[in-house]
Amino acid sequence: GQPYLDGIRINVVPDESGLAAALRTKAADMAIVTDAKVARTLRSETTITLDSKPSLSYNLLFMNTKRKPLDNVMVRQAIAYAIDRKAIIDAVAFGEGEITGPIAPSLANYALPTSQYPLYTRDVAKAKQLLQQANVGPVSFTILTSTTEPAYGKDEAQLVQAQLAEAGITVKIETTELTQYVDRWLKADFDVATGLNGGGPDPDFYVYRYFTNDGNLNFVTSYQNSVSSDAIKQGRATTDVAKRKDLYTTAQKELVNGVPFIWLFVGRDYVATLPTTKGFTHLPTGSIIYLRQTWLNK
């Protein structure tokens, strides 16, 4: 009966670049990979099978709406207009990603197509116009990023830095170890921060914690919007699918226009296995529950 294996040893590898060597030398039978650069290396290995699925997690920029000049929604909208998401996907995910809004595209019944968001069409002239209207003077801020979560966070920040410079926005980058980053994040001690947030199979998972006015993670951005907050709460309270779709449509439009996050893209999750590893089913949720039916043909 299940599970078939006598035991499972899980090694946490902070630097995913070592995974190819671990599989090649058979120090590991399977590896879960999130870094597209590492995935490219694994894909070229003839003795390794790589399976990929669209991720439910998403890459983003947290915007601290209490910090000047980010407390001005026109400044946040200007930043959104100046960002080229496709260029970021091509550079840090080697094209293996999809632009996302507040709800990941995999939740097709709820996620609005990003083509419906005007702020997603890069328009540097519009960004400059909004900054003039905001009348806050020269705009500058610092992006906080960590060395490992995601591994390409600094690269992402540098791309944003260059893109915003075209709109006259000055960006500095501060990179810390993950423990320091988490400590700063928990204190909302940043202007803007890169992030990789987990996702789930229901839209509530993406929006309730951060964007209801009393959500347990609302402190991260301090964003307050009664329209989106009420819609999200009503979405949690009903099981009517059509009604939920309408409510989450309202919430998504409000959130994108309010810019508490700048949602960038969803990448892909990868599972690499040796030919001797059998029976594992790769789920888009990232669950490893099917290790219970995995076996080794040795």
Same domain, 44 and 88: no
CATH code at 225? 3.10.105.10
Same domain, 41 and 127: no
With CA atoms as reference, report the closest residue to 79 among 62, 100, 96: 62
Question: Hey, what are 161's tokens?
Answer: 């830095």
Which pLDDT does position 287 carry in this prediction? 85
Task: Answer yes or no: are the C-beta atoms of 90 and 96 closer than 8 Å.
Answer: no
**Number of structural domains in the chain:** 2
The conformation of residue 59, written as its DSSP 8-state character, comes to E
Distance between CA atoms of 64 and 73, rounded to whole angstroms? Answer: 11
Same domain, 230 and 286: no
Backbone CA torsion sign across 86, 87, 93, 95: positive
Q: Assess if residue 225 is contained within a domain.
A: yes
Same domain, 135 and 249: yes
Q: Where are the strands (E) in the chain, listed by range?
A: 30-33, 49-54, 58-63, 98-99, 140-146, 170-176, 192-197, 261-266, 268-273, 277-278, 295-296
Same domain, 94 and 195: yes
Match 């003795």 to its residue by tokens.
47
Which pLDDT does position 4 carry in this prediction? 85
Q: Assess if residue 169 is contained within a domain.
A: yes
Task: Answer yes or no: are the C-beta atoms of 291 and 43 closer than 8 Å.
Answer: no
- End-to-end Cα, the chain, rounded Å: 18
Which pLDDT does position 251 carry in this prediction? 98
Same domain, 183 and 198: yes
Same domain, 48 and 164: no
Q: Which residues of the chain have pLDDT under 50?
A: none
pLDDT in tens, 149-160: 887 899 999 999
Q: Assess if residue 5 is contained within a domain.
A: no
Which pLDDT does position 284 carry in this prediction? 78
The conformation of residue 225, written as its DSSP 8-state character, comes to -
Distance between CA atoms of 228 and 249, rounded to whole angstroms? Answer: 10
Q: Assess if residue 10 is contained within a domain.
A: no
Q: Assess if residue 11 is contained within a domain.
A: no
Q: How many other C-beta atoms are found inside a 10 Å radius of the C-beta of residue 244?
A: 21
Q: Assess if residue 6 is contained within a domain.
A: no
Same domain, 21 and 146: no
Same domain, 112 and 253: yes
Same domain, 32 and 147: no
What would the DSSP string read from start to end of 82-141?
H--HHHHHHHHSTT--EE--SS-TTSTTTPPPGGG-GGGS--HHHHHHHHHHHT--S-EE
Task: Answer yes or no: are the C-beta atoms of 159 and 88 closer than 8 Å.
Answer: yes
Which pLDDT does position 34 carry in this prediction? 84
Q: Assess if residue 155 is contained within a domain.
A: yes
Which pLDDT does position 176 carry in this prediction? 96
Q: Assess if residue 150 is contained within a domain.
A: yes
Which pLDDT does position 277 carry in this prediction? 95
With CA atoms as reference, report the closest residue to 262 among 85, 42, 15: 85
Same domain, 246 and 149: yes
Q: Are strands 192-197 and 140-146 parallel, antiparallel or unpaired?
A: parallel
Question: Hey, what are 269's tokens?
Answer: 């999750």
Same domain, 22 and 110: no
Which pLDDT does position 152 carry in this prediction? 86
Range of the domain at 227: 58-266
